[in-house]
Amino acid sequence: MVKSTIPPMFQVVVDKEKCRKCKRCVMSCSYGALGFTDRVVPDDKNCVACHRCVAMCPENAIMINESPLAYRPHASWTVEHRQGILKQAETGGMLLTGMGNDKPYKIFWDHLVIDACQVTNPSIDPLREPMELRTYLGSKPDKLEFETDKNGQPSLKTQLTPNILLETPIVFAAMSFGSISLNAHRALARAAYESGILMNTGEGGLHKDLYKYGERAIVQVASGRFGVHQEYLNQGSVIEIKVGQGAKPGIGGHLPGEKINSEVSQTRMIPIGSDALSPAPHHDIYSIEDLRQLIYALKEATNYQKPVSVKVSAVHNIAAIASGIVRAGADIVTIDGFRGGTGAAPTIIRDNVGIPIEMALAAVDDRLRKEGIRNQASIIAAGSIRSSGDWVKALALGADAVVIGTAALIAMGCRVCQKCYMGKCTWGIATQNPQLTARLNPEVATERLKNLIRAWSLELKEILGLLGVNSIESLRGNRERLRAIGLTDSEANILGVKHAGE
Ligand code: SF4
Ligand code: SF4
């Protein structure tokens, strides 16, 4: 095999004075970036900057630097372009990556600021007054009708459709068992269960050990139909038809055979070691009528007891698409923006296809309101919610709840090295290697996830307080409480916000 000529991205530096040669760093690295002779010997070209060795070193003896080996600067031929071409010239294959789009496109959350009460409309102290974060996902009636019986007792005449209660308006992103480890899935399921929110099985089914958390799970039905059966559908509290994913709109998925071990194979209902290929389209959906048929088939299969969500990627005509989805009978529309995470995607697609969630969300909320069908479905916004600040802004732009994926992974230990597709995650998350999966303690990961939800919810309450409202309902879709900084008129117009100072 010809030796690669591609320069390394990172440089591993071991402080010889501090190192006591315990080899923990060597044992912790699954990428082959550290060897040992009579001392630790780094192999920089294999380093992915996952930081596992740094975290494991008892002497703080390791530093990971960006490679000081500079390319001659060129505004057009960036280092990334040159590295990509060199790699493709060696392999002849597509470049793959993990996690969300890392290109420096404008992040609209960072150009929105939140209003606050001063003097007249007083703020509220969330430490002294209750704040209502509870949210119901599902279709709502436009009005309630009552009737009275012959004894004059009133009762509700309007037929209500099933809704799901979230204690705080957040759900964990769809991440399949297979793309992540069972320990990671277990932590997400249990943290969702104990926090009163929802996890999402992703497209790989639900392991039987996790059925006990099913009442807090969104069970996904994707184009590959992996792990989908009557029992699975009935375990979940929401059924989601996955049409698209923000990180790779318009294409299917591929979980390599080496990740299909016995448990993944049983859960997905495919042979051990076989590649799990999800087709780009659902082979039974080629029109909105087809989608409607599947929505109602799933409702029928679960006795009309569960809301059905449809998840789509944020693309330029998303408002019309969402309108069609609601009219087709979906109770929830989940929109995944182009910075949404993934276990594996062609880099060219992740970085160049789709639109930001901020724009898509505002456009969808506008359209559904204008058409008078906003109450018929909840909107869930996904695609790089990085903090409670992003969360608040998403709610103000019209989301009923948001999805967190990468933030949840980071809470469990992920360092966003973007190498999930290699299946060697040193933190035991995006891998099925038993030596690596054992590194993620599901008890600890559950607590860390619960802490994150709690911390963000406390921050959300503080922000509601400074806005002078005590309920999430008063914030939802209230764009008047946002202002734009550094946006063009047209961008602010799409988002439906005024400029700061207006
Ligand atoms: S973990 Fe730290 S102390 Fe141990 S061998 Fe590696 S660099 Fe040296
Ligand atoms: S899950 Fe693991 S492999 Fe994926 S980005 Fe995070 S640390 Fe890297």
Distance 58 CA to ligand 1 centre (A): 7
Counts of helices then strands in the chain (DSSP H, E): 16, 23
Q: Which atom of ligand 1 is nearest to the CA of 34?
A: 6
Question: Which of 18, 25, 51, 426 for mutating ligand 1's site (highest number of atoms within 8 Å of CB)?
Answer: 25
Task: Pick the ligand that lies closest to the CA of residue 57.
Answer: 1
Question: Which of 51, 422, 425, 432 for mutating ligand 2's site (highest number of atoms within 8 Å of CB)?
Answer: 425
Domain assignment of residue 113, yes or no: no
Question: CB–CB of 330/377 below 8 Å?
Answer: yes
- Cα within 13 Å of Cα(121), Cβ side: 9
Distance 249 CA to ligand 2 centre (A): 21
Q: Quick check: helix, strand or coil at residue 292?
A: helix
pLDDT at 2: 67
Cβ partners under 8 Å of residue 444, min gap 6: none
CATH of the domain at 215: 3.20.20.70
- The verdict on 489 and 401 lying in the same domain is yes
Domain assignment of residue 109, yes or no: no
Task: Pick the ligand that lies closest to the CA of residue 28.
Answer: 1
pLDDT at 253: 86
- The verdict on 79 and 216 lying in the same domain is no
- The verdict on 48 and 163 lying in the same domain is no
- The verdict on 189 and 80 lying in the same domain is no
CATH of the domain at 76: 3.30.70.20
Q: How far apart are CA 376 and CA 368, in angstroms?
A: 9
Q: How far apart are CA 425 and CA 3, in angstroms?
A: 25
- The verdict on 374 and 462 lying in the same domain is yes
Distance 410 CA to ligand 2 centre (A): 9
22 in contact with ligand 1, CB cutoff 6 A? yes
- The verdict on 402 and 479 lying in the same domain is yes
Question: Which of 415, 422, 437 for mutating ligand 2's site (highest number of atoms within 8 Å of CB)?
Answer: 415
Q: Which atom of ligand 1 is nearest to the CA of 28?
A: 1
Distance 257 CA to ligand 2 centre (A): 19
What angle separates helix 388-397 from helix 357-370, to the nearest 10 degrees?
30
Name the CA dihedral angle for 398, 168, 217, 213, rounded to a multiple of 10 degrees. 180
Domain assignment of residue 263, yes or no: yes
- The verdict on 377 and 239 lying in the same domain is yes
429 in contact with ligand 2, CB cutoff 6 A? yes
Cβ partners under 8 Å of residue 473, min gap 6: 132
Backbone angles phi, psi at 482, to 5 degrees: -115, 150
99 in contact with ligand 2, CB cutoff 6 A? yes
- The verdict on 191 and 72 lying in the same domain is no
Q: How far apart are CA 112 and CA 370, in angstroms?
A: 24
DSSP label at residue 159: P
Distance 180 CA to ligand 2 centre (A): 10
Domain assignment of residue 334, yes or no: yes
Q: Which atom of ligand 1 is nearest to the CA of 18?
A: 3
Per-residue tens of pLDDT for the chain, all 502 residues: 567 889 999 999 999 999 999 999 999 999 999 999 999 999 999 999 999 999 999 999 999 999 998 899 999 999 999 999 999 999 999 999 999 999 999 999 999 999 999 988 899 999 999 999 999 999 999 999 999 988 999 999 999 999 999 999 999 999 999 999 999 999 999 999 999 999 999 999 999 999 999 999 999 999 999 999 999 999 999 999 999 999 999 999 888 888 899 999 999 999 999 888 899 999 999 999 999 999 999 999 999 999 999 999 999 999 999 999 999 999 999 999 999 999 999 999 999 999 999 999 999 999 999 999 999 999 999 999 999 999 999 999 999 999 999 999 999 999 999 999 999 999 999 999 999 999 999 999 999 999 999 999 999 999 999 999 999 999 999 999 999 999 999 999 999 999 999 9
Count of domains forming the chain: 2
103 in contact with ligand 1, CB cutoff 6 A? no
Instruction: Give the pTM.
Output: 0.96
419 in contact with ligand 2, CB cutoff 6 A? yes
Question: CB–CB of 100/248 below 8 Å?
Answer: no
Distance 408 CA to ligand 2 centre (A): 12
Nearest to 29 by CA among 56, 4, 9: 56
What is the residue with the minimal CA distance to atom 2 of ligand 2?
425
Q: Final residue of a domain: which of 48, 68, 93? A: 93
Question: CB–CB of 97/345 below 8 Å?
Answer: yes
Q: Quick check: helix, strand or coil at residue 117?
A: coil
pLDDT at 164: 98
Q: Which atom of ligand 2 is nearest to the CA of 416?
A: 5
Q: Final residue of a domain: which of 93, 116, 131? A: 93
Domain assignment of residue 126, yes or no: no
Domain assignment of residue 145, yes or no: no
Q: Final residue of a domain: which of 48, 77, 93? A: 93
- The verdict on 164 and 89 lying in the same domain is no
- The verdict on 485 and 397 lying in the same domain is yes
- The verdict on 190 and 271 lying in the same domain is yes
Nearest to 346 by CA among 251, 416, 256, 276: 251
Domain assignment of residue 122, yes or no: no
pLDDT at 454: 98
Distance 60 CA to ligand 1 centre (A): 8
Domain assignment of residue 446, yes or no: yes
What is the residue with the minimal CA distance to atom 4 of ligand 1?
22
- The verdict on 347 and 477 lying in the same domain is yes
Q: What is the span of the domain harbouring residue 69?
A: 10-93
343 in contact with ligand 2, CB cutoff 6 A? no
Distance 64 CA to ligand 1 centre (A): 13
Distance 372 CA to ligand 1 centre (A): 63
218 in contact with ligand 2, CB cutoff 6 A? no
Sign of CA dihedral 1, 272, 275, 403: negative
pLDDT at 487: 98
What is the residue with the minimal CA distance to atom 8 of ligand 2?
417
